[in-house]
Amino acid sequence: MVQWIAESLRPFVQQLAINCNNDQDNYLPFADLVCGDRHEGFRGPLCGLHSLLCASEADYLLTSSCDTPMLNASYGESMLAALQSDLVSGNPPALVYCARSNLRVHPTHLLIARQSIKSLEDAINKDQLRAMDWLSSQHPAYVDFSDQNIFVNCNRPEDLKSFESDRSHKSPD
């Protein structure tokens, strides 16, 4: 699944970075940079975002969890288009752009500004680790996706098989 996500994001980033806390050598073939959390104790996605932002020199990071194997190019295109639209219109760009489908927020699918390091660090230091709570506090710009299937969560190969099987049995609209 990591390979699929890496291939989906690669055309939209200058440097592909992966945050993982175990078996980092296994992820090296898929990324330019692999980093673990800067905070001890496997404390969740905010720590991963913080570590990635600290390890990168990019102004914005396009992020995805590795358990969304249906992710495709529309994700990167849409997220970057939202930022570009704000820049072209003269509106100040958001610090965080967040994917949303069918009014469901996807808190690990972000285009996040480097300036978010401080607010992430503050939340982590206060042990406020719920991604949705931190995200809400940032007043993100939401990027709506009509295809909610690209965000389907599959943590195990069996989950992916089940999703594909369910999808193949549904009749077309």
Instruction: Show me where the domains of the chain are located.
Output: 2-169
**Res. 22: pLDDT tops 90:** no
At 19, phi and psi to the nearest 5? -100, 125
- What is the tens place of the pLDDT at every residue in 109-120? 999 999 999 999
Tell me phi and psi for residue 33, to 5 degrees. -145, 135
The answer to whether residue 154 scores a pLDDT higher than 60 is yes
Give the model's confidence band at 8: pLDDT under 50 very low, under 70 low, under 90 confident, else very high: very high
CATH superfamily of 2-169: Spore Coat Polysaccharide Biosynthesis Protein SpsA; Chain A (3.90.550.10)
Q: Can you tell me the distance from the alpha carbon of 57 to that of 21, in angstroms, rounded to the nearest whole number?
A: 21
Structure tokens, 132 = 């949705």
CB 64 within 8 A of CB 108: yes
Answer whether residue 25 shows pLDDT above 60: yes
Q: Kindly state the average pLDDT of the residues 113-132.
A: 96
- 0.85 surpassed by pTM: yes
Q: 24: closest CA among 32, 39, 34, 11?
A: 34
**Confidence bin at 139 (pLDDT 50/70/90):** very high
Q: Do strands 33-35 and 17-19 pair parallel, antiparallel, or not at all (unpaired)?
A: parallel
